[in-house]
Amino acid sequence: MQKTVELLRKNDELRVIERELDIYLEIPHLAYAEVKKKDGGKALLFTNVVDKKSGKKFEENVLMNVFGSYRRCELLFGRTIESVADEITKLLHMKMPAGFFNKLSMASELFSLKNIFPKRTNMKASCQQIRYLDDAVDLYKIPVLTTWEQDGGPFITMGQTYTQSLDGEMVNVGMYRLQIYDKNHLGLHWQIHKDSSHFFDQYQKAGKKMPVTIAIGGDPLYTWCATAPLPYGVNELLMYGLIKKENAKLVKSLTNPLYIPHDVDYVIEGWVDTAEMRIEGPFGDHTGYYTLEEPYPVLEVSAITMKKERTYLATVVGKPPLEDKYMGWATGKIFFPLLKTTAPDLLDYHMPENCGFHNLILAKMQPLYKGHAKQFMHAFWGAGQMSFVKHAIFLDEKAPNLESYEVLSAYILDRFTPKSLYITDGILDALDHSSPEALVGGKLGIDATAANKVEAPNLLGDEELLQKIQELIPDALTLHQFMRRTKNPITVIAIRKTKNAKNYFDALLPLSMHLRVVVFVDAFKNDIHNAYMLLWRVTNNMDAMRDVFISGLMVGVDGTNKNALDGFERRWPDDVECTPSVVESLKSKGVWDLSENLYEKFQLT
């Protein structure tokens, strides 16, 4: 971490905050604002860290937003992201060459791969210089942040969670949020599709306790590797070796059999009683909503070790854009070659950050036959973590760049008809709040590979259209039409909701000659001119099986918060929002410098 700080400082990618700031809300709020700036702002190093509730002042610094720009990602990788993807492509397509010298060259390349495998050592580990065992264990010795006012407590957000299968043959490192319950207990929020959860099932069936070790810090690439979507049973630290061209050097935990990198800053060891579950949450998550209380496994901490010179690494999640935008960018580029093994005609894909990644994927493909795009939808919805994607749009090879949103949207809308839609159901991310039941719900695919003949509507101005709509829907307060130049303009209508949105859609059928795609949102907390945050809101809030309506050439989408009017029986979570008094405090201390227009654009409150 010290090398990382110096690397960031040398490249003018570090902002040092010397003012005294609290681990409760203040530090994470400032980091949340910083990443909203152009190009992700700077990495933040907090050098005067306190816990005002206990009166404690911490020795260590807190580092945040370390991955929060494209440039910082490549600095931390030590190479271009594309070069890593190219290397994986080469490995996947490696064939036995002809000729002695070509074979010799290949042998040399294969020999160099020996460095990618993690190496267990008996070296004296810097991560174990300070040791707390038994009654000396105290998680509050670490400056763990409480990010949001409704959070269930402090959460470790950049922990590397090390686990192994019951037989010890497979190991895994994942990144999950970890809630501090008290001085020696942590909540482990690993979702049911994660490797750690599969291992947990093995220990539970055997009636045995499960060893878990959590590391924080060290080379930031350890943390990125913990997020890598590798196949079940593949050690994520292999990616560290592939990128760095050197082994991750591991040492054994003091009180369980797990191995962790020798140079991390903190190590939290312990055992999980698989018969015990405890309520974890709520937590303001990367969806931009709070995920609600649920039972999860509990780690009883048996040891905490740390470096003498240490830095606490953390991240903040909530409404986009955030640090995970840049981590996700690197992941998408690097693992594209692996995705192509499942979908060989895939040319490119992109997951917009304001859709929380799993809520929308844009994919460019080479369509070879009728129904090819639908086949791709099934392939995506059955491929590892891609299976959690809610909405997917597939385009042909002539489509614009997938990140050129304006021209891409026009390309899609000029060839879209209701028959382009494909709606089904499947598994969802555990963080999704919009489906009628947890873990399963609606999925929407759009086949934009075919240039359908599209009939344009008879457009009206916003004011005239609103007047006509209000005669049919008195609950409609305002509207805005996006992409008016296309054959399928999108009309966003803000309503004061008193009934299910399907009733509003049906009421609009007499105006179908003026409308094509209609999106309903709540008037409360939505700016109908802010396309970035509207897309965040609607893709979060909709379940395609319930919230998409079709009549003739008209398509309706219900992007409102769901309640009893919709037959919705689950609790609907609150938005993640900054605490205004904390923002004012940071302003008074002279450290808050986010412009007012960005504050409003990204709806921090």
Same domain, 204 and 305: yes
Q: Provide the residue range defining the domain that includes 251.
A: 2-78+117-314
The reply to whether 28 and 139 lie within a common domain is: yes
Residues 422 and 480 placed together within one structural domain of the fold: no
Per-residue b or e along 54-85, where b marks 16 or more CB atoms closer than 10 Å to that residue's CB: eeeebebbbbbbbbbbeebbbbbbeeebeebb
**DSSP helix/strand/coil, 558:** strand
Q: Supply the pLDDT for residue 147.
A: 97
Residue 153, in any domain of the structure: yes
Say whether the peptide bond before residue 282 is cis (omega within 30 degrees of 0): yes
Residue 472 and residue 427 share a domain: no
Residues 408 and 471 in one domain: no
pLDDT tens readout for residues 557-601? 999 999 999 999 999 999 999 999 999 999 999 999 999 999 999
Same-domain status, 69 and 200: yes
pLDDT grade for 104, boundaries at 50, 70 and 90: very low
Q: Do 560 and 493 have their domain in common?
A: yes
* 94 or 329, which is more confident: 329
pLDDT digits (tens, 9 = 90+) for 461-510: 999 999 999 999 999 999 999 999 999 999 999 999 999 999 999 999 99
Q: Are residues 187 and 262 in the same domain?
A: yes
Does 282 lie in the same domain as 141?
yes
Are 490 and 519 found together in one domain? yes
Give the end of a domain, one of 392, 420, 448.
448
Domain count, the chain: 3
d(CA 191, CA 275): 17
Please check whether residues 355 and 261 belong to one and the same domain: no
pLDDT of residue 106: 42
**Selection from 298, 310, 323, 315 nearest residue 265 by Cα:** 310
* Coil vs helix vs strand at 343: coil
62 within 8 A of 143, measured Cβ to Cβ: yes
This prediction's pTM: 0.93
Question: For the segment 262-297, what is each residue's pLDDT rounded down to a tens digit?
Answer: 999 999 999 999 999 999 999 999 999 999 999 999
Higher pLDDT, 231 or 239: 239
